[in-house]
Structure 1
Amino acid sequence: MKPTMADVSRHSGLSIWTVSQVLNGKSGVSERSRVAVQEAAAHLGYVVNSAARDLKRNRRSGISVITASTENSYYVDLVQGVHAELRGSTYTAMVSDIASKGHYSQEIEDQTIESVLGARPAGLITTLPLSKKNLDLLERWEVLVVFVDSPPPEGANRAASVTTDNLKASGDLGDHLGLHGYRNWVSVMYPSRWPTRAPRVKGLQDAARRNGASLTVLDAGNDMTSAADALSEYLASGSRPDAIIAGNNPLLRGVMGALATHSLHAPQDLGLVSFDEFAWAPLTTPTMTLIDEGAARIGRQAAALLLDLIERRESSNEAIAVTDIYKPHDQIVMPAKLTIRESCGCHT
């Protein structure tokens, strides 16, 4: 049987009132009693029903985070940043993956939002734009939203976001390829459902024009296998690019597999670069040149912004609509950094 507060009371020898005060983080209890209650609860395996407690207090202590494929190190690092920022606060993060292994569906999005709303979170950090229906639901249930890695929906002037300047970042990456003299570029890209694709492709196209290069964009899913298939089919046709750009690190793994299958090696046969830093990029052979968005830093910024929004709502003296809490400065654009290693042809 599951232990109850009454069990903790009997085990500690203290009153239900004292146990309740301790387990709900309230004052008015001696340190000796507090320790006794905590030890009794730990021994019995008693866990506070935080959802019921929040409901009673008319307060929400959970924050939901929606990622779009935890196979991508970007999202793993982002979530670590969120957790780091929330540490020491009264809020905890609950993470859901809306596109496991890079496969998105509207049905999964709907189920995820239903689950999020069922937990009654104080706010949501989402890495995909979400459908209008689900955004309307979140607003109706007064859930504050911070968009990460994707801009707010078109026309949403009252919204909060932390995004990367992908246009400039991809332009910097393309210009670096141009410095190497590469003129035939191929980019393996994920679907447009991920809104970072459009500015990344445009930045590369602009850089290609500046450097007198051609750019071919190969459509793939957001996973290693489809990336390998797309590039293998292109190479099997006899085409030989002198530079390849992977849209993110799952696609990079597929690209590297396809190159190995066709006995092509970077940087001897071509330049190879990618978006999104990952922990083992300095350990690959060759070490990987890529765009580093600083995902953990973005996660911290998004969590800090959401906590600020929650504080604004709680400190307001009157009931206001969720959309009235957002301010123009809540749409933050972060710079990214080109990290140069060996795969592009540089000697570091």
Structure 2
Amino acid sequence: MSLPPQQTIPHLRKACLPVGLVALTLTISACGGGRRLPSLNGAGASFPAPAYQRWAADYKADKGYLVNYQSVGSGQGVRSFLAGSVDFGASDESLSDQDFKAGAAGQRGAVQIPMLGGTISPAYNNPDCTDLKLTQAQLADIYLGKITNWSALGCPARPLTVVHRSDGSGTTFNFTNSLSCFSPQWKQQVGVGKAVQWPVGLGARGNEGVAGLIQNTPGSLGYVNQAFLRGDVKPAALQNKDGQFMLADSKTGAAALNNISLDERLGGEDCNPKGAESFPIVAFTWILAYQSGQGEEKAEAMRTFLLWSLEEAPQQQAAELGFVPLTGDVLKRAREEVAKIKG
């Protein structure tokens, strides 16, 4: 299986290659003349990485500007953003009130802009078990270590290997947030977090790593963004709040996202959204940007890239990669938030 790359750095044509890495941060005036915007460097969530990295390549082709995105997980992305070591961060968990006051965010001001939605799907590799359907209680019991054999799920008997994230992750936050709604025992014993003390299982870094471990471990089950469902990494249908078994896709994700209310800072989540057509584990993913302190050109570069990303074509491109595009009031509010980014 060809998994999404860890990073994408769109390259200049050979005639315009910069000398040394430092040149990547400079204005690119040698390739085409005229005023050019500086490159952008961001880091964070692996959940939206396939979309962000595709956008970086398409944005370079469309506008000629460089964006580099490092898929390092939401936890590291927020830490880098608060430290001021990146031009933008990315997270699958909205910032806390404390985060908004901490480090570079507190000094320079911060905005969090929803860029996409996505589902977090149970994913498994078991050729002997097709069309797997899981209740919410069964999914929690698998991660509690109470279900250890595929026979308990109506499949031929074989040991069940649990896979989870080993790094701090917004994907994990949203997944464990839903497990806490699905299971009082999970809520009491394990709880919610970007990183938790897993009762059982093997860990891997990033959605990429979890998908790769599932791919290489027959009899395994984990959780990934639907964009990583491919090859031997199959989706399991999950029972929603209304009792319906749904697969993760753009339609079921959109139905769920439309039932999530965002606050004045455009943050928010729902651990088990209502709706007969809703997939039960769904979340927005955010880009974190500074309101000030980056200079006029860098601020313009951020606004230009973000507004381009919120246009119809990039959003639909993300949908083809397995994400849920923004629509309606959320899209309008996201564009308004971009306007708060100043020099």
Choose between structure 1 and 2 for higher RCO, CA contacts under 8 A separated by at least 6 residues: 2
- Interval of TM-score (by shorter of Structure 1 and Structure 2): 0.3 to 0.5
- The TM-score with structure 1 as length reference comes to 0.38
**More helix by proportion, 1 or 2?**
1
